[in-house]
Amino acid sequence: MSYEHHPLSYGQRALWFLQKLAPGSAAYNVPFSARVRAPLDAGAVRRAFQALADRHPALRTTYPMVGGAGGAPVQEVHERLEIDFGEIDAAAWGEEELRRGVAAEVHRPFDLERGPVLRLRLFRQGPEDHVLLLVMHHIAVDFLSLVILLEDLRTLLPAALAGEKPVLPLPERRYTDFVHWQVGMLQGPEGERQWEHWRGALSGELPRLELPTDRPRPRIQSFRGGVQPFSLEERTAAPLAALAREEGTTLFTVLLAALKVLLHRVTGQVDLVVGSTLPGRPGPDYDGVVGYFVNTVLLRGDLSGDPPFRQFLAREARVVSAALEHQHLPFPVLVERLAPERDLGVSPLYQVLFAFYQGEEERVLRMVTGDRDGRFQLGSLELEPFPVERRTAMMDLTLNAVSAAGTVRFALEYDADLFDASTVEGLAEHFQRLLLGIVEDPYRRLSDLDTAALLRQSLALGGEKGAAGEERADTRRALLEQQKMRRRQGR
């Protein structure tokens, strides 16, 4: 079978070596699972997804090492590669057994060198009850790629079920075009311009975020994780969006600023770095291309001087604007040039990640996170969310925010080696309290939005249960009421 060899992008190289270091890890698996309560022809489902792989080269690419011991991994783009498809009879399974079976497939690692990097499973519980599971490795797709694939399936799956062969226009570009663009950009004046910005923005000693943890940090990251969902009602989300408009910025920036205030409260640090993911696509001709484009940028926060929140928000707006203008310097290149002291127990340069989704991405993420309202239509087929237990975490904390229908839904992922679920629940509670304080009065100084002592007390007591824990919770609520009374009297 014929194939082409191409270099890997910088982001792909990093993922490839991380997978080599931990070949049994599923930390970079990207799953999409849905329940379909309708008749499904397994053969038609397979044909539709094979058509996806035939259409998008990234789904029929493997990543072997060439050149022996001194060689390097390459992208081996196959002219055709059969997808890994399996139909599983789950008619006798209960709901819990079904969820365990789906989770086992989600967390099964990929062999990047042999491929394929796409796995499709159809769990059949009855003639009109199925769970459809798609798992891909991150080296081949980013989140926007998943959105593109589902959009293609709107045409391909109904056509396959009807026995038809639709014709979809091919994307203008291929992912390998992006790889060559990236190399050229880095070698030219634009690459130097991007590097000069980040060298200045991240100059001096970069702070490591010293989060208070429930357990000592292990010597090597295991990537065991959990997730804490929570949400903002429209009465809180709408004023935050209005504040963003008044300041000429975005809801992303308002939430980022609030997250940094929370981290400041927990750590006492006034100089801190939060990572964030940006699309990384160099132009609109890449909008329909499937591949790993997403890039991480470092957003350094200056909370010195205890400014009013609106003043701090203006600082953050400038930071975010500059990051967007210089978002194409690959994060692995930044790590290489900054050369931080390496520690296998912690992510280099940043320990907390913030990701924000809206628009078409929002609808897909609501499916991925199991939002009950997050249904997705493929022709006459309705896909219902079928959430799978989250067992991995790449960072100490990752805050995913989804702006949808006037509300904001969050999923706070955490490193389970460091934090108890109750501690993360306390962090989520205090983040919501901070957002409420911002809505009430964005001109308050950061220290007046809440009290650092109260937050630390809550974190320290996060794991306590029973009557004693409830009594302390009552005490914290009373302290909050006293604090509000003092503020009103001081005005």
How high is the pLDDT of residue 407?
Answer: 87
Residues 254 and 291 occupy one common structural domain:
yes
Is 453 part of a structural domain of the chain? Answer: no
For residue 226, CA distances in Å to 13, 17, 133, 161, 416 come to 27, 24, 21, 37, 6
Of 141, 170, 199, the residue at which a domain comes to its end is 170
Is 125 part of a structural domain of the chain? Answer: yes
How high is the pLDDT of residue 4?
Answer: 81
Residues 231 and 94 occupy one common structural domain:
no
Give the pLDDT confidence of 164-214 residue by residue, as tens digits. Answer: 988 898 898 999 999 999 999 999 999 999 999 999 999 998 999 999 999
Q: What are phi and psi for residue 363, nearest 5 degrees?
A: -65, -40
Apex CA 203: angle with CA 219 and CA 415, to 5°?
A: 30
Is 488 part of a structural domain of the chain? Answer: yes
Is 31 part of a structural domain of the chain? Answer: yes
Q: 466: helix, coil or strand?
A: helix
Residues 294 and 407 occupy one common structural domain:
yes
How high is the pLDDT of residue 371?
Answer: 62
Is 456 part of a structural domain of the chain? Answer: no
CA distance 68 to 410: 46
Of 110, 142, 170, the residue at which a domain comes to its end is 170
- 312 HSE (CA, 13 A, CB side): 29
How high is the pLDDT of residue 362?
Answer: 60
Is 455 part of a structural domain of the chain? Answer: no
Give the DSSP H or E segment for 157: helix 143-161
Residues 207 and 73 occupy one common structural domain:
no
CATH of the domain at 275: 3.30.559.30
- Work out the end-to-end distance of the chain between its first and last CA atoms, rounded to an integer number of angstroms: 77
Is 269 part of a structural domain of the chain? Answer: yes
Residues 71 and 150 occupy one common structural domain:
yes
Domain that holds residue 141: 3-170
Number of domains in the chain: 3
Residues 79 and 15 occupy one common structural domain:
yes
CA distance 298 to 197: 12
Give the pLDDT confidence of 47-81 residue by residue, as tens digits. Answer: 999 999 999 999 999 999 988 767 899 999 999 99
Q: 197: helix, coil or strand?
A: helix
Residues 148 and 291 occupy one common structural domain:
no
CATH of the domain at 124: 3.30.559.10
Q: Which amino acid is at 372?
A: R
Residues 433 and 358 occupy one common structural domain:
yes
Pick from 136, 137, 134, 140: nearest CA to 175 = 140
Residues 430 and 465 occupy one common structural domain:
no
Residues 415 and 472 occupy one common structural domain:
no
Which residues neighbour 480 within 8 Å (Cβ) at sequence distance 6 or greater?
454
pTM value is 0.86
Peptide bond preceding 385 in cis form (omega within 30 of 0): no
Residues 200 and 163 occupy one common structural domain:
no
Cβ atoms within 10 A of the Cβ of 241, count?
16
How high is the pLDDT of residue 1?
Answer: 52
Residues 226 and 151 occupy one common structural domain:
no
Can you give the pLDDT of all 491 residues of the chain as single tens digits?
567 899 999 999 999 999 998 898 888 999 999 999 999 999 999 999 999 999 999 999 999 998 876 789 999 999 999 999 999 999 999 999 999 999 999 999 999 999 999 999 999 999 999 999 999 999 999 999 999 999 999 999 999 999 998 889 889 899 999 999 999 999 999 999 999 999 999 999 899 999 999 999 998 888 889 999 999 988 999 999 999 999 999 999 999 999 999 999 999 999 999 999 999 999 999 999 999 999 999 999 999 999 999 999 999 999 999 999 999 999 999 999 998 887 777 888 999 999 998 865 666 666 665 566 667 888 888 999 898 877 788 899 999 998 887 889 899 999 999 999 999 999 999 999 999 999 999 999 999 886 443 444 455 444 443 444 444 445 444 444 444 444 444 43
Is 181 part of a structural domain of the chain? Answer: no
Of 170, 200, 232, the residue at which a domain comes to its end is 170
Is residue 388 a contact partner of residue 102, using CB atoms and an 8 Å limit? yes
**What radius of gyration, in Å, describes the C-alpha atoms of the chain?**
24
